[in-house]
Structure formats: structure tokens, C-alpha cells
Structure 1
Amino acid sequence: MSWLAKAQIQRLRADGTAVGAALDVLYNPTEYTLAKSNQIAEIAIPGLDSPLLQFVRGQTETMTVELFFDSTDGGTGADAKSVTEKTDPFYKLIKIESETHAPPIVLFTWGGDAFPGHRTNAAQGGQARYGFKGVIESVRQRYTMFSSLGLPLRATLSLVIKEYKTLPEQLAELGLLSPDRTKAHAVQAGQTITRIAELTAGDGADWRRIAEHNGIENPFDLAPGSILEVPAR
């Protein structure tokens, strides 16, 4: 008999340590959605066929998931139990906590290292993640079955979770270091290759590496307006 892994939601402190026991879902979701986008600005230049595009910043990734709950195993008559006994612990995760004055950080896990994003290339900002860490932005509760006394017996909770990352986490993932990117430099009149190396690489002694990369045989004969590539170190 195969073992069924249950999806869980765990409350976290800001340092990533767990708070209390994780909440097991009653039934695993049939689907969830991860959405990520970038903010791109359009720079209009007269005379061009279309505007130039400029990356501004990434937008917060969001996760949307629906969780189903049912309490009819206890009957549907006078002895029925409200499904809110099962849903309320999840609904409380959107409430403001007295200690932090904010809703808690949560971690949704299911599937271990098969969780989307686990194998994303770190150079592209990916995370070796085992779940989705964030703050619940919204909860929508939909009740679809009731007892003869009006107790809700079935419910679907729709959760929207916004990803939570600290500044150190984001900087570590992105690894944005200028020296690891090839640069381009337009030669100005009177500039020497040594001066270009100082401006672009921070060290005039790098002129030889720049000259070799661009196939320059005479470093004293640079044509104004020509474009030189400054390779990454």
C-alpha cells in the first residue's frame, strides 16, 4: 500500500523556524497555480516603430490553491459537526498576530524536492525550494452543504499566498555582481585603452585583456565611436 503525502501549511517566524505544529490539509488539492511577472517600462522614442523596453523590477510571486473540507463523516443530522472546526485553523492564518502586528509567515509544502522551482538555475534567480513561503493575502470561504440545523458541513477555502523573501535572501539568489557581466563601451575622442579599462573594469592594467578580446592590434589607434566589449572577469 502506497503512502499518501499530505500537503501542509506551517507557520514560521521571521528567521524561518517553525511555530507550533503544521496544519495538514484534509484532502490534497487537485491543482494549484503559481504566478510570477516582471514590471517592464516602455520608453517611447520619436520615429521608432515600437518603444524600447526597460526592465524595472520583478513582481511578487503568488500561489493560489483551493482546499476542500468535509465533516459529514460525523453525520448530517442532529449529531453533525460543523466543518468550521477544520477550516478555522487555516482561516486564522490571515489574522494579525499580537506579537508581530502582522499576519504570520507560512510555508506550503507538498511533494518535497519535486516542488516547482526546486531545480531552477540559481544563476536565473531560482530557489532550491521545497515549498512556497509567503504571507496569505486573501482567503475566500465557500460553504456548499449544511445540516438540518444549519451547520456548515462542506467548505472550499481559496487561498492566495504572496511570496515572502528577505532582502539578504533575494540578493543571495540573484547574485548581481557587475564584474560577471560583459559591458559595452563607446570610444570617445582622445580616450586611450588604458583609460577605458579604468572606467569600465576599475583597473587600467586590464587594457591588455580588453584589447585581446576585441582583436585590437594597435591599442594606440582607437576609432572614436567604435564599440568595445569589456569581458567579464
Structure 2
Amino acid sequence: MAGGQFTKAQIVPIDGNGRKTPIECMFNPREYTISRSVDWKSQNSDTSDTGNKVFVGGSAATLTLELFFDTYARRQSAGAVEDVRKYTAPLWALTQIGDKETDRASALQKNRPGKVLFQWGSTWHFEAVITSMEQQFTLFMPDGTPVRSVIKVSLEQADRSTAFHGASGGTSTYHVSQGIRERAAQRGFVGDLRATSFGKGS
């Protein structure tokens, strides 16, 4: 948060030549989820009812989030409302086949979508590939133009150096979140903070 303004989350396209122009989120996500599975299998055992657990491998972390777009709320006048697809099209472009890349194992040239970097200020980043995207339109103008939309995105970790938290000593998402919880507790609020002014994104 700089100068009283919330830092905007952004998705940065990445190709072989480095980062491209960031795609700034119109509104910061209300929440996001990081998950990872660890694979075990059970071997039959005559000494344990649960069998022997054998580790067979892990998997990349997955980040899922919803992004909100609303040009109706940002309209300059009643008759000047932009098509929300103007702002969501760059995200869809990230799922399309781009420039050719060399497969290191086979040395073949293959077309594929590029990697992306989900970044929210300096607290952390998540370098990944987009594995799924779903868009829902929820508000329309009389002529059918969509002006409000929610995009659900799933990203899978593509870089071992992905940082899940910021550098120590700096303002982090955790500190902001903890402050919200403390203020809510002081006012005796114990419900879902996401449904109140305490937990709304910007």
C-alpha cells in the first residue's frame, strides 16, 4: 500500500525473452488458494492394519483465484459503458498457443502457451502455467453488451524458486490480514470477514 492506495495484483506474461507488459487486475482478488498434493501408496503388511506408506512423489503447487471485472461500476456516464471483454481478452490470450519453444529433452520446436507470473506487490510471486480458465458474465446492457464478469483461474507452479511469502521485515499480506482480524475482534465481530468491509479487496 503506497500513498494510501492498495497495490494492484497483476499477471505478467513470460516468454524466452523475459517478462512482457503486466496485466493489472481491475480489482484485487478477495481471496486465493494454494494447494499441493503429496503422493503415497500403501503396501500390504502383516504387521499393520494400515499397511506401509511408501512415498512415490510430489506435485507442483496449484494457485486458484477469482478475478472480478466490472466496467459498469467504473462508467463515466450512463451511456458510456465499455464492453468488459475489452479487459478480459488479454487473460484469454495467455491461454493461446504462442511462439515456438525448444523442448530440451527432444530438441523439437513446439507451439505452446507461455508461462505467467502472478505477482501482488513485493510480498511474493508465483511463476506458473495456466491450466484452466472459466469466465462468467453476470451483468449486461440492454443491447446485450456484457459489463460485469468473474474469471476463475487455475495456475500450476512452473518454477522451483517460486516465493510464497515476502522478505522478512517488510509489509506482508499476513500483516495486513492480521490487522484486519485484530480490528474486527476489538469490535466484537466474529463472523466471515470476507462479507464485511473488514475483508473486502480493493
> What TM-score, normalized by structure 1, do the two folds share?
0.59
Higher share in strand: 2
Structure 1 residues 77 and 159: CA distance shift in structure 2, 3 A: same
8 Å CA contact retained: 1:29, 1:67: yes
How far residue 37 of structure 1 moved from its aligned partner, in angstroms, is: 1.4
Q: SS of 1:94's equivalent?
A: coil
How far residue 75 of structure 1 moved from its aligned partner, in angstroms, is: 6.3
How far residue 147 of structure 1 moved from its aligned partner, in angstroms, is: 0.4
Structure 1 match to 2:120: 110
- Alpha-carbon distance between aligned partners in 2 of 1:40 and 1:27, rounded to the nearest angstrom: 39
Q: Identify which range, 49-58 or 61-70, moves more after superposition.
A: 49-58
Q: Which has the higher contact order (CA 8 A, sep 6+)?
A: 2
Determine whether 1:85 maps to 2:86: yes
- Alpha-carbon distance between aligned partners in 1 of 2:5 and 2:43, rounded to the nearest angstrom: 55
Structure 2 match to 1:48: 48
Structure 2 match to 1:5: 7
Structure 2 match to 1:175: none
Question: Deviation per CA, 1:108-134, whole angstroms, max 9, x where unpaired?
Answer: 00142x3xxxxxxxxxxxxxxx31110
- Alpha-carbon distance between aligned partners in 2 of 1:23 and 1:85, rounded to the nearest angstrom: 12
Structure 1 match to 2:148: 154
Question: Deviation per CA, 1:161-202, whole angstroms, max 9, x where unpaired?
Answer: 011037xx69xxxxxxxxxxxxxxxxxxxxxxxxxxxxxxxx
Q: SS of 2:93's equivalent?
A: helix
Structure 1 residues 14 and 60: CA distance shift in structure 2, 3 A: farther
* 2:127 maps to amino acid: K
Structure 1 residues 103 and 3: CA distance shift in structure 2, 3 A: same
Q: SS of 1:21's equivalent?
A: coil
- Alpha-carbon distance between aligned partners in 2 of 1:27 and 1:155, rounded to the nearest angstrom: 11
Higher share in helix: 1
Q: SS of 1:161's equivalent?
A: strand
How many residue pairs are counted as aligned between the two chains? Answer: 150
Structure 2 match to 1:191: none
Q: What pairs up with 1:99-138 in 2 under 5 angstroms? A: 99-100=100-101, 101-112=111-122, 114=123, 130-138=124-132
Q: SS of 2:100's equivalent?
A: coil
Structure 1 match to 2:133: 139
- Alpha-carbon distance between aligned partners in 2 of 1:21 and 1:162, rounded to the nearest angstrom: 21
Unaligned runs of 5+ in 2: 102-110, 163-202
RMSD: 2.1
- Alpha-carbon distance between aligned partners in 2 of 1:46 and 1:63, rounded to the nearest angstrom: 40
